[in-house]
Amino acid sequence: MHPAEIVERALTEDIGSGDVTTELCVPADRRASGRFLVREPVVVAGVELLPLLYDDLQITAPSGTCLSAGQEIANVRGSARTLLTRERVALNFLQRLCGIATLARQYTDAVAGTGCRILDTRKTTPGLRQLEKMAAHAGGVTNHRMGLYDAVLIKNNHITAAGGVRAALEAAKESNLPVEIEVRSRPELHEALDCGATHLLLDNLSPAEAKEWIGIIGGRATVELSGGITLETVRAYAEAGADFISVGAITHSARAVDIHFELDTPPACPAQAGGMRNVD
């Protein structure tokens, strides 16, 4: 789904037949400006969506920027009604996507210097995959396949349904796409290598087991590790010799970070000169 369509759907969902509070309380001709500020350290992501929400906009922190508490992501100007009506949609996107980018950066920092790369997964919010993978990339993660169509990843159930490792790999040769296969046991590992597999997925191993299996592989294939790997354990897995580590938590469990929108109206309006804040 194109980002413009995602944003339009979000606006329709939130505004519906109209923002009754803003239309009742705020004069139609009132002008205002506003700033998106972070209340905690974040890695910025999602600012590419802001031009789809605002016409008069200045992005002060591009995606991938590290910000400290109190720093600004962007500022906007325009009709006070428009700024207020679109505030929550803008914050929902920024808080979610910056949260993903921030967690992604924590994982990439944790394996720095090992030569291992962190991958995202397809464990994304339905309809938001493109945005969430964009956010993961802003945090330094390497995007894995976007969907079921752009790479072959033979997992346990595929092996079972195909009739075994060899049968699955032979069938996958018909594709010109990259081919990766998950192996569940030592016999499957040896069979995959004997069949010429060049990219192996090892799931749910301990760091010690992963190191042992990677030693058996001996550079004959690139290795991806996955399965319950956390910030506390990811470096041990990287040091076991993995080329890649995939982490579903980066997209399915990232915490929304604390970002707020600070609205100001011209000083000619004394009642609002101190600014307004929508906490909904």
pLDDT in tens, 47-80: 999 999 999 999 999 999 999 999 999 999 999 9
CA distance 236 to 214: 13
For residue 271, how many C-alpha atoms fall within 13 Å in the half-sphere facing its CB?
A: 4
Task: Give the CA distances from residue 165 to residues 17, 48, 178, 199, 225, in Å, rounded to whole numbers and listed in that order.
Answer: 55, 43, 16, 13, 18
Domains defined for the chain, CATH in brackets: 3-107+255-272 (3.90.1170.20), 113-252 (3.20.20.70)
d(CA 84, CA 152): 45
Helix spans in 185-248 (H): 186-194, 207-217, 234-239
Residue type, 173: K
Tokens of 23: 């239309």
Residue 277: other Cβ atoms inside 10 A: 11
State the pLDDT confidence band at 276, using cuts at 50, 70 and 90: very low
Q: Would you say residue 274 has pLDDT above 60?
A: no
Residue 279 has pLDDT above 90, yes or no: no
| pLDDT, mean of residues 150-160 | 96
Least confident interval from 90-99, 119-128, 261-270: 261-270
| 181 DSSP β-pair partners | 154, 200
> Cβ contacts of residue 209 below 8 Å, gap of 6+?
none
Q: What is the pLDDT of residue 266?
A: 77
The total of other beta-carbon atoms located within 10 Å of residue 253's CB is 12
Is it the case that residue 273 has pLDDT exceeding 60?
A: no
* Residue 261 backbone dihedrals phi, psi, to 5 degrees: -110, 120
Q: What is the pLDDT of residue 272?
A: 44
CB contact at 8 A, 91 and 261: yes
Q: Tokens representing 51?
A: 């031009």
Helices H, strands E: what count in the chain? 10, 12
Using the predicted structure, report yes or no on whether residue 280 has a pLDDT greater than 80: no
pLDDT in tens, 3-14: 999 999 999 999
The yes-or-no verdict on residue 127 having pLDDT over 60 is yes
CA nearest 100: which of 76, 123, 74, 72? 123
Least confident of 15-19, 125-129, 273-277: 273-277
Contact between residue 258 and residue 38 where contact means Cβ atoms under 8 Å apart: yes
Q: Structure pTM?
A: 0.92
Active site residues: 88, 123, 155, 182, 203
